[in-house]
Structure 1
């Protein structure tokens, strides 16, 4: 068996994968986000470890873990986790959807105008490097104590193995990595006042980065097995879905929304806030568009409208709007899903969520429907950004909590005009990918495709073009609405 641990924003998920690639069992432990000030988003790293330990103990209570051969890690990207010389956490981690460092981004761009040539990416508040400039300016007493900077999943690795390590895909999101060399850039580190000694060692995702300590192994009732470097959540999710060859494309519908497509070598278009990162597999790269609020918008509107659950809200929308595989629309309400600002394509941390077109006739179900459409239009903006530099596959694999709604997947197929495939393991994509990377790490003689095969399709959603004119018009209104309110 192989173990995959995924540190998400809303929880830690751990899975057991069998030798033939099947998900044998899973456990989840929830997490919450602290937002003490506007644009801030933080978590306590100690809570990550406690949630991981809780999920592992629950998994071990149900299954014998003595047969585990190796462990892989996956996690939310970009988070600035700061440690002092005694490995103590200096402050809460600043997360990927934190927007406070917008001015620091401009400062970094001025200090290092060659940043796009080195990293292939636009300087955005979500990335790790500008967060450190913000800390340097506003929390100098913290900054001066920094001995190590870790990404979220790599804090778990430290607790598990006592090793400072990361992987190429996760390090890609820091703005400190030379993307073509797949190694730390001294120039980029210098721009934020840091050195390579303060960074973890960079591995490829399928390399062994350490061994589970005897103390943790005893607590989790398992052997002292190798721990693979792993990957950022989206790269690991892609490995879990077999998205490993050029043009293979995936949509992740989690807290954020991501279009992920494997590229033919390193390619970039930072002008539209497209991410260009290393994949979790050697000599492989990918492009990625990111919207900061996807399924989280659905959770928000369900609370706002008083539905008893997300499932109840989806059922109400389906009852009102769906007729077979055609979705008939009557609501003119528009929604901009920028509850945490936005990345692709706007790079605007100050963008806000907007409802437009409300009337006395507007019902709660119309608001839920507008949110689903608005998130879908924002994702289509991201898909266009990916297409600006490369071709994509004829179908898109979908993972994440939002992918459990057949209504939404059919809506996405209709709006994108592209087939959407929901596969086995889609609900645990990143942790499944982490387990696959763990398997590769200890089975070097096995062909990559034997481990990273595409899981069986559960449901395929073919686009229905009967409403194409409606979607095209409403999308134009969606894009125009942002242009009109931008900067207010």
Structure 2
């Protein structure tokens, strides 16, 4: 491979609303970036995407990243992340033959009960007690029930980034244990739970091979290189979920540190020495490429409601109008879609307000505040499980473009929050690619070299008591609805003490 200049690492992020790609040097210089939109089909519990658009969007985003300043001849490796729990089926030739069931598609409720009845012991050993209906394995069973000819025709499970990796290398690929976690993969042993799958009538032929994130699974083939604007022969590295990628891209890779990524939904992940066990089945843990564990979860609340409810509003002006209204007595539980997954599991949960808003600005203020209160409850829940929660907190995601929201989150959490420069899941995949293929040695060193700090926000004490009062009121509303366990609420109330 030729071309003058430093080594370049390419990271690709498949999000809900679009694909992003970044090309980054070993010392964190962003040479190029690109983005392409994705569209969804949402109706009730249904959330699907057309898998064919994933590849088209990846080619567009990668092509932009290379055209905007990154010499493709200098790209040394590429890694791809994807939304957690998004699955489809592919045929013998790698073509998608079913829609992409997205991370929050909730139609596999019956299958989830079956999965939990037959695999209860296994899921407890894995650190979570139950699978949720939006997870990959219940959805796989749902797909097999609706495509009864799938096994006979050689179809198999593919996670969202598996689809892209296969297109990149031109042949079948194993899946990574991060994306496969919600499909039942054992991250500690890198195996599928054969007995559970046999009881569920899921044959081994349906399952891809398993590898750890960071494993080289092939090279960019000639056809893919032509479509994406790359050169053939670039190593393709097994990636992770978008939440884990965001964590790597935030630089929060050391034990005790936490990344809170606020995009369409809120995803919180940290680093622990040992596997964290959750008797309530809310928190699950991925395995870090460094060998540590990455506990956390994904809420169904988030900034996705901003585009849905305030699409016609000027967000800068709306934020300016909302800022002096904080803290507001209007409480919102701002679910993007029905059902909650973290910091509690409540399939029947729906968005609510404590009262009607006086105007649009108050409603927007309550939305921002509601997400911040959910974020605080996530930390309280993790603390109750015994996770170290006093380390650094790094904020990432599209919502960090709103400075008022950033400061609000620091105020509500009552702790400093850091905002790194260029932090995004795609950067996390560039970090993973570099740490796996000759970049700065080891994951922590690669993250330290490639993730550049920007600023730290200190919490303000001005409205501390008002936020504590509002937070406790929200806890009471959640308990009253039967969604939040009383023991969790009690622990959270105790932590409001000075």
Confirm or deny a common fold (TM above 0.5).
yes
Displacement after TM superposition at 1:283 (Å):
1.7
Q: Which structure 1 residue ranges, 5 or more long, are not aligned? A: 322-327
Match in the other structure for 1:414 = 411
Cα shift readout 1:217-259 (whole Å, capped 9, x = no counterpart): 2331424211111211121222222222211111001111011
Q: Which structure 2 residue ranges, 5 or more long, are not aligned? A: 1-7, 484-498
Match in the other structure for 1:120 = 127
Match in the other structure for 1:355 = 353
- Report the 3-state secondary structure (helix = DSSP H, G, I; strand = E; otherwise coil) of the residue aligned with 1:135: helix
Shift in CA distance, 86/336, structure 1 to aligned 2, threshold 3 Å: same
* Contact 2:270–2:295, Cα closer than 8 Å, also in 1: yes
Rounded to whole Å, the distance in 2 between the matches of 1:41 and 1:247 is: 34
Residue 241 of structure 2, aligned match among 232, 235, 239? 232
* Contact 1:182–1:278, Cα closer than 8 Å, also in 2: no
Displacement after TM superposition at 1:395 (Å):
2.7
Match in the other structure for 1:207 = 215
Rounded to whole Å, the distance in 2 between the matches of 1:108 and 1:294 is: 28
Match in the other structure for 2:495 = none
Question: How many residue pairs are counted as aligned between the two chains?
Answer: 469
Rounded to whole Å, the distance in 2 between the matches of 1:313 and 1:190 is: 54
Displacement after TM superposition at 1:113 (Å):
2.5
Cα shift readout 1:176-197 (whole Å, capped 9, x = no counterpart): 1124323222133324322343
Displacement after TM superposition at 1:334 (Å):
1.3
The yes-or-no answer on 1:364 pairing with 2:360 is yes
Rounded to whole Å, the distance in 1 between the matches of 2:151 and 2:44 is: 22
* Contact 2:23–2:66, Cα closer than 8 Å, also in 1: no
The 10-residue stretch of structure 1 (468-477 or 26-35) with the greater mean CA deviation from structure 2: 468-477
Match in the other structure for 2:50 = 44
Cα shift readout 1:321-363 (whole Å, capped 9, x = no counterpart): 3xxxxxx53x42111122312101331222111122226xx01
The yes-or-no answer on 1:431 pairing with 2:426 is yes
Alignment of 1:220-369 (within 5 A): 220-271=229-280, 273-279=282-288, 281-303=289-311, 306-308=312-314, 310-318=315-323, 320-321=324-325, 328-329=326-327, 331-340=328-337, 341-358=339-356, 362-369=358-365
Displacement after TM superposition at 1:204 (Å):
2.1
Residue 18 of structure 2, aligned match among 11, 22, 29? 11
Alignment of 1:396-415 (within 5 A): 396-415=393-412
Residue 102 of structure 2, aligned match among 87, 95, 99? 95
Displacement after TM superposition at 1:402 (Å):
0.6
Displacement after TM superposition at 1:145 (Å):
4.7
Displacement after TM superposition at 1:52 (Å):
0.7
* Contact 1:424–1:456, Cα closer than 8 Å, also in 2: yes
Cα shift readout 1:284-320 (whole Å, capped 9, x = no counterpart): 21110221131112222313xx413x333223212x3
Residue 474 of structure 1, aligned match among 466, 470, 475? 470
- Report the 3-state secondary structure (helix = DSSP H, G, I; strand = E; otherwise coil) of the residue aligned with 1:112: helix
Displacement after TM superposition at 1:137 (Å):
3.9
Displacement after TM superposition at 1:138 (Å):
4.6
Cα shift readout 1:128-177 (whole Å, capped 9, x = no counterpart): 00112223445545576562211101110011112322222222232x11
- Report the 3-state secondary structure (helix = DSSP H, G, I; strand = E; otherwise coil) of the residue aligned with 1:258: strand
The 10-residue stretch of structure 1 (440-449 or 247-256) with the greater mean CA deviation from structure 2: 440-449
* Contact 1:237–1:399, Cα closer than 8 Å, also in 2: yes
Match in the other structure for 1:111 = 118
Q: Give me the CA root mean square deviation.
A: 2.1
- Report the 3-state secondary structure (helix = DSSP H, G, I; strand = E; otherwise coil) of the residue aligned with 2:448: coil
The yes-or-no answer on 1:375 pairing with 2:371 is yes
Match in the other structure for 1:192 = 200
Match in the other structure for 2:488 = none
Shift in CA distance, 307/67, structure 1 to aligned 2, threshold 3 Å: same
